Amino acid sequence: AQKVTQAQTEISVVEKEDVTLDCVYETRDTTYYLFWYKQPPSGELVFLIRRNSFDEQNEISGRYSWNFQKSTSSFNFTITASQVVDSAVYFCALRDYNTDKLIFGTGTRLQVFP
Protein backbone atom coordinates (compact mmCIF):
# COMPACT_ATOMS: atom_id res chain seq x y z
CA ALA A 1 0.00 0.00 0.00
CA GLN A 2 1.10 3.55 -0.65
CA LYS A 3 1.78 5.60 2.43
CA VAL A 4 3.57 8.76 3.49
CA THR A 5 4.64 9.25 7.09
CA GLN A 6 5.59 12.57 8.63
CA ALA A 7 6.34 11.57 12.18
CA GLN A 8 6.91 15.10 13.42
CA THR A 9 3.54 16.66 14.16
CA GLU A 10 4.89 19.99 15.33
CA ILE A 11 8.34 21.58 15.50
CA SER A 12 9.24 24.86 17.19
CA VAL A 13 12.50 26.65 16.57
CA VAL A 14 13.98 30.06 17.12
CA GLU A 15 14.84 32.21 14.13
CA LYS A 16 18.14 31.39 12.40
CA GLU A 17 18.11 27.79 13.58
CA ASP A 18 18.30 25.04 10.96
CA VAL A 19 15.41 22.60 10.92
CA THR A 20 14.81 19.30 9.12
CA LEU A 21 11.37 17.95 8.34
CA ASP A 22 11.25 14.20 7.90
CA CYS A 23 9.28 12.30 5.29
CA VAL A 24 9.23 8.53 4.88
CA TYR A 25 7.24 6.87 2.13
CA GLU A 26 6.09 3.38 1.20
CA THR A 27 5.37 2.19 -2.30
CA ARG A 28 5.79 -0.94 -4.39
CA ASP A 29 6.07 1.04 -7.60
CA THR A 30 9.44 1.44 -9.25
CA THR A 31 8.32 4.71 -10.81
CA TYR A 32 6.89 7.28 -8.47
CA TYR A 33 6.97 11.00 -7.76
CA LEU A 34 7.48 12.88 -4.53
CA PHE A 35 6.47 16.41 -3.67
CA TRP A 36 6.71 18.94 -0.86
CA TYR A 37 4.04 21.58 -0.32
CA LYS A 38 3.85 24.48 2.12
CA GLN A 39 0.56 25.59 3.67
CA PRO A 40 0.84 29.04 5.28
CA PRO A 41 -1.86 30.31 7.67
CA SER A 42 -3.77 31.73 4.68
CA GLY A 43 -4.66 28.16 3.73
CA GLU A 44 -3.48 27.55 0.18
CA LEU A 45 -0.97 24.81 -0.63
CA VAL A 46 2.15 26.14 -2.29
CA PHE A 47 4.25 23.76 -4.38
CA LEU A 48 7.91 23.64 -3.31
CA ILE A 49 9.61 20.76 -5.09
CA ARG A 50 9.05 17.55 -7.04
CA ARG A 51 11.34 14.59 -7.48
CA ASN A 52 10.95 11.39 -9.48
CA SER A 53 12.18 8.00 -8.35
CA PHE A 54 15.03 7.95 -10.87
CA ASP A 55 16.53 11.19 -9.74
CA GLU A 56 18.28 10.88 -6.41
CA GLN A 57 20.16 14.12 -6.72
CA ASN A 58 19.75 16.36 -3.74
CA GLU A 59 18.55 19.85 -4.44
CA ILE A 60 19.19 23.23 -2.92
CA SER A 61 17.08 26.31 -3.50
CA GLY A 62 18.19 29.24 -1.42
CA ARG A 63 17.69 28.32 2.22
CA TYR A 64 15.77 25.16 1.28
CA SER A 65 17.35 21.80 0.55
CA TRP A 66 16.02 18.31 0.00
CA ASN A 67 17.65 14.97 0.64
CA PHE A 68 16.17 12.07 -1.30
CA GLN A 69 17.39 8.59 -0.31
CA LYS A 70 15.75 5.59 -1.94
CA SER A 71 17.66 3.19 0.30
CA THR A 72 15.76 4.49 3.33
CA SER A 73 12.62 5.62 1.44
CA SER A 74 13.06 9.12 2.76
CA PHE A 75 12.67 12.57 1.26
CA ASN A 76 13.67 15.02 3.97
CA PHE A 77 13.44 18.78 3.79
CA THR A 78 15.85 21.16 5.53
CA ILE A 79 15.43 24.87 6.08
CA THR A 80 18.66 26.64 6.86
CA ALA A 81 18.64 29.80 8.98
CA SER A 82 14.89 29.64 9.51
CA GLN A 83 12.79 32.79 9.44
CA VAL A 84 9.44 33.69 10.94
CA VAL A 85 7.93 33.62 7.44
CA ASP A 86 8.76 29.92 7.25
CA SER A 87 6.07 29.23 9.85
CA ALA A 88 3.55 26.98 8.12
CA VAL A 89 2.39 23.42 7.78
CA TYR A 90 4.55 21.39 5.41
CA PHE A 91 3.23 18.38 3.55
CA CYS A 92 5.13 15.62 1.85
CA ALA A 93 3.22 13.75 -0.87
CA LEU A 94 3.65 10.70 -3.08
CA ARG A 95 1.99 10.35 -6.45
CA ASP A 96 0.75 6.91 -7.31
CA TYR A 97 2.02 6.32 -10.85
CA ASN A 98 -0.94 4.19 -11.88
CA THR A 99 -3.86 6.04 -10.33
CA ASP A 100 -2.38 9.53 -10.53
CA LYS A 101 -3.56 10.26 -7.00
CA LEU A 102 -1.53 12.28 -4.52
CA ILE A 103 -1.08 10.61 -1.17
CA PHE A 104 -0.28 13.16 1.50
CA GLY A 105 1.44 12.78 4.82
CA THR A 106 -0.29 14.22 7.85
CA GLY A 107 1.84 17.35 7.73
CA THR A 108 4.37 18.96 10.07
CA ARG A 109 3.52 22.29 11.65
CA LEU A 110 6.64 24.44 11.86
CA GLN A 111 6.65 27.45 14.17
CA VAL A 112 9.59 29.81 13.97
CA PHE A 113 9.81 32.26 16.83
CA PRO A 114 11.68 35.57 16.63
Partner 1 sequence: EADIYQTPRYLVIGTGKKITLECSQTMGHDKMYWYQQDPGMELHLIHYSYGVNSTEKGDLSSESTVSRIRTEHFPLTLESARPSHTSQYLCASRRREGSYNEQFFGPGTRLTVL
Interface ranges with partner 1 (CB under 8 A): 31, 33, 35, 37, 42-47, 50, 52, 89, 91, 95, 97, 100-102, 104, 106-107, 109
Q: Which is nearer to partner 1, 71 or 99 (CB)?
A: 99
Q: Which is nearer to partner 1, 53 or 80 (CB)?
A: 53
- DSSP assigned state of 42: T
- Residue type at 102? L
Measure the CA–CA gap between 92 and 104, rounded to whole angstroms: 6
Closest approach, Cβ 93 to partner 1, in A, equals: 8
Q: Which is nearer to partner 1, 75 or 95 (CB)?
A: 95
Single out the residue of 7, 10, 13 nearest to residue 92, CA to CA: 7
Cα 49–53–55 angle (5° rounding)?
70
Closest approach, Cβ 68 to partner 1, in A, equals: 15
Q: Which is nearer to partner 1, 11 or 109 (CB)?
A: 109
- DSSP assigned state of 84: G
